[in-house]
Amino acid sequence: MRTTRLLLAVSLLFLLFGSQALASSHLISGPETCLECHDDVISAEEFSASVHGMNGCVACHVELTDVELHMEGELMPEPVRCVRCHKKETAEHYSSVHKLNEIDCASCHSSIHTQMAWKGDKRIATDKCAECHDEAYEIYHQSVHGKAIQAGNMDSAACLDCHNLHEINEIGDPADHDTRAFHSDVCQKCHADAELMAKNGVYNIAVETYLTSYHGKNYALGFPELVAGCADCHTSHSILPHTDPKSSLHPDNLVATCAQCHENSSAQFIKYYAHGKMTDRENYPILYYTYVSMTGLLLGTFAIFWIHTLMWMFRGFVENREKKAALIAGTHHAIPDAHKIYRRFSKLHIVLHLLVITSFLLLSLTGIPLKFAEQEWAVVLMNFYGGAPVAAFVHRIGAVITFVYFSAALAMSAKFLFYRLQSPADFFQRLFGPESLCPNLRDVRDATAMVRWFLFLGPKPNFDRWTYWEKFDFLAVFWGMFAIGGSGLMLWFPEIFGAFLPGWVFNVATIIHSDEALLATGFIFTVHFFNTHGRPEKFPMDFVIFNGELPKEEFIEERGDQWKRYQEEGILEDYVKEKPSGVAYDFFIKGFGFFAVFTGIALLFLMVYAFTAGGHHL
């Protein structure tokens, strides 16, 4: 009890003498002290209602510890350090273009003593920006974004949505990587938000269709400085409906807009569908039916040949077991001089096939990353090549090689059909004869017999010089040249073709080029690789196309009808190859063959990954 009374007495003495000491030290105890002098500058009512009203004056002016020294002019306020409370905002502002130009907090927050809670009203922020950026603001104010903000729609884009509130970066050179990325990044923040677009009645295809275009794919791969971004076509601030005569997208202005990049832009060229959606039948019927046709071609071709491949694989394994059993039982039919070498392909055939492989690999390695630009591995590959410009250059080298071997194939075909032609009957004999790669009725019979063999309903058919799948591969080159080659030329030289063709042909060409390339790579890396190298009797590789050599046993077993025909014609010995290829040649050429196959399988794996785990779709 005595201890409690003692503590109470000490507390009373402290309060009494402590308050007197505080008063005598001239400390500023609250806003009322400051307002005795500054009431003409700061309203007590407005300050107390502001966001800083709960703070005392010395919470910001921390150095003003003695009111008398301050009144005498010996202790004056220093610049307020907002960072004491606003650390995040200060850190963002510290490296901004505003800070570099000595624009500090008070430059924008000038009414700091009456600052009210913002509550997300973007009009306040844009009006503040207009104090310095009046020219840009006047343009923005007339845009669809500016009008929506002034009407009270806070979903619309304001200055802060694109440039941020405090972390305002320098725009820089229009050709600069970061600047060009900025011109599309900020647009996609809103326009990629399906829910936000639906809420505001905006047809939400802009981002999706941009990213599937050549421009968008290069942007996604990390090379926005090479292609048009959103602001290049729509401008940064003067975003207006395309029906507005002042819009950069108005028909009267569109040639000039496209001419910023495509110097020879024309009235035909601008008919390109910048945001054409190939699955939108109502608005883009040409693109839709092109897409449907190409998708049907892909699915139909793959379905037929993949089933053919699987059936052959199973039947081939059974055949190998039958041959092994015959060897063990001693009932295998031995062929005399089984390893005698015959020539199947000439040196010209081998060179042309090497050109085919080289061009195909160059085109695939550089084209597939562009096709699947949204994939991380595509970005890695592009950077490995040295960037999109290098990849584009290599892709065009592959295209030139393709035109070279295709021209050679045309010349050889013309010579085969017309050189020393005796009569029309002779022409048809050449066209549909056993040495021709043109399909005929025999191919139908061979394909039917092959399917029966798959199903254990008949013997394996004998073939002549060319099988039906080899003829398909050959004719696919012709179809591919018109589809891939023709569309590729259009996309390579758009201004030339755009001078006399409507711009939407480039949309069509993009679909055809992309899907036909997918068909070609998918077919080569699965069906063709199996037919030539992966089938049980040839695995792991058939080197005949690299050295032109065919052992007698394989000749008779695989192309028995050709063997018999050559015997009957007395020309069989003309195809005997006395000197097989050397070890060094075999080492390098077979090494190249394995490299090509492994590269194709690796690319196939990446494509399958893109369609499954990666979420890519046709």
Question: How big is the chain by its Cα radius of gyration, in Å?
Answer: 39
pLDDT at position 617, please? 66
What's the pLDDT tens digit per position in 244-278? Answer: 999 999 999 999 999 999 999 999 999 999 999 99
Residues 317 and 454 in one domain: yes
Percent helix, strand, coil in the chain, to 5, is 65, 0, 35
Mean pLDDT of 278-298: 96
How buried is 495 (Cβ within 10 angstroms: 0-12 exposed, 13-18 middle, 19+ buried)? middle
Is pLDDT of 58 > 60? yes
Taking all residues of the chain, what is their mean pLDDT, rounded to a whole number? 90
Share of the chain above pLDDT 90, in %: 71
What's the pLDDT tens digit per position in 111-153? Answer: 888 888 888 899 988 999 999 999 999 999 999 999 999 999 9
pLDDT at position 29, please? 58
Answer with the one of 209, 239, 271 that is the final residue of a domain.
Answer: 271
Is pLDDT of 2 > 80? no
Is pLDDT of 56 > 70? yes
pLDDT at position 47, please? 85
What sign for the dihedral angle of Cα 352, 355, 359, 360?
positive
Q: Is the residue at 386 inside a domain? A: yes
Is pLDDT of 592 > 80? yes
Whether the Cβ atoms of residue 559 and residue 325 lie closer than 8 Å to each other? no
pLDDT at position 30, please? 67
Q: Is the residue at 384 inside a domain? A: yes
**Residue carrying the six token digits 């907002």:** 82
Is pLDDT of 233 > 70? yes
Residues 247 and 331 in one domain: no
Kindly report the pTM of this predicted structure. 0.86
Q: Is the residue at 228 inside a domain? A: yes
Residues 582 and 534 in one domain: yes
Q: How far apart are CA 506 and CA 488, in angstroms?
A: 10
What's the pLDDT tens digit per position in 424-454? Answer: 999 999 999 999 999 999 999 999 999 999 9
Residues 266 and 297 in one domain: no
Mean pLDDT of 479-491: 94
In angstroms, the Cα distances linking 350 to 355, 574, 589 are 9, 19, 11
Is pLDDT of 72 > 60? yes
Mean pLDDT of 41-59: 83
DSSP bridge pairs for 551: 341
Whether the Cβ atoms of residue 369 and residue 517 lie closer than 8 Å to each other? no
Residues 351 and 258 in one domain: no
Residues 326 and 178 in one domain: no
Residues 319 and 263 in one domain: no
Q: Is the residue at 55 inside a domain? A: no
**Residue carrying the six token digits 């040409």:** 286
Answer with the one of 236, 271, 306 that is the final residue of a domain.
Answer: 271
In angstroms, the Cα distances linking 579 to 82, 255, 313, 575, 576 are 88, 65, 34, 12, 9
Residues 404 and 500 in one domain: yes
Q: How far apart are CA 80 and CA 78, in angstroms?
A: 6
What's the pLDDT tens digit per position in 331-368? Answer: 777 788 888 999 999 999 999 999 999 999 999 999 99
In angstroms, the Cα distances linking 266 to 235, 255, 462, 486, 524 are 20, 6, 58, 21, 39
pLDDT at position 281, please? 96
Higher pLDDT, 471 or 583: 471
Residues 306 and 330 in one domain: yes
Whether the Cβ atoms of residue 500 and residue 266 lie closer than 8 Å to each other? no
Least confident of 94-98, 110-114, 299-303: 110-114
Give one DSSP letter per residue of 37-55, joined into a string: HHTTTS-HHHHHHSTTTTS
Residues 318 and 259 in one domain: no
Q: Is the residue at 105 inside a domain? A: no
Query: Which pair of structure tokens corresponds to residue 539?
Result: 């695995």
Q: How far apart are CA 557 and CA 552, in angstroms?
A: 9
* Domain range enclosing 253: 126-271
Q: Is the residue at 578 inside a domain? A: yes
List, in sequence order, the alpha helices (H) in 272-336.
285-329
Whether the Cβ atoms of residue 278 and residue 291 lie closer than 8 Å to each other? yes
In angstroms, the Cα distances linking 275 to 229, 469, 477 are 13, 40, 32
Q: Is the residue at 14 inside a domain? A: no
**Residue carrying the six token digits 């996609």:** 188
What's the pLDDT tens digit per position in 12-36? Answer: 433 344 444 444 445 565 677 787 7
What's the pLDDT tens digit per position in 178-205? Answer: 888 998 999 999 999 999 999 999 988 9
Q: How confident is the model at residue 11 (pLDDT cuts 50, 70, 90)?
A: very low
Q: Tell me the CATH number at 578.
A: 1.20.950.20
pLDDT at position 308, please? 97
Higher pLDDT, 444 or 100: 444
Mean pLDDT of 463-474: 96
Number of domains within the chain:
2
Residues 256 and 315 in one domain: no
Mean pLDDT of 212-234: 94
Residues 367 and 233 in one domain: no
Answer with the one of 271, 305, 337 that is the final residue of a domain.
Answer: 271
Q: How far apart are CA 389 and CA 506, in angstroms?
A: 20
Q: How far apart are CA 257 and CA 250, in angstroms?
A: 9
Is pLDDT of 555 > 50? yes
Give one DSSP letter per residue of 382-431, joined into a string: HHHHTSHHHHHHHHHHHHHHHHHHHHHHHHHHHHHHHTT---HHHHHHHH
Q: Is beta strand 549-551 parallel, antiparallel or unpaired with respect to 341-343?
A: antiparallel
For residue 215, give every residue at least 6 positions away whose Cβ sits within 8 Å of its Cβ, in sequence order, or none: 227, 228, 229
Q: Is the residue at 494 inside a domain? A: yes
Is pLDDT of 390 > 80? yes
Q: How far apart are CA 296 and CA 281, in angstroms?
A: 16
Q: Which amino acid is at 576?
A: V
**Residue carrying the six token digits 């927050």:** 109
